[in-house]
Amino acid sequence: MNYFFFYFTYFILLILFYFILFFVLNRVLIILLNQVNILNRNNFNFKFLFFIL
């Protein structure tokens, strides 16, 4: 039972970590794309791609 609880909490922390990581990368990428002045269509495609990930 102890091991199950340990792995369960580890799994949840891993999911949270990846969620935050992709969220931050998504924000940074959108800011960089806006800085470089790439077309809105490409910007939307990148947002959609990161949303799926």
The CA distance from 35 to 14, in Å, is 32
- Of residues 51 and 33, more confidence is placed in 33
Mean pLDDT score, 28-48: 65
Q: Are 30 and 47 in contact (CB under 8 A)?
A: yes
The CA distance from 29 to 22, in Å, is 10
Mean pLDDT estimate for the chain = 76
Q: Are 30 and 43 in contact (CB under 8 A)?
A: yes
Q: Is the pTM of this model over 0.85?
A: no
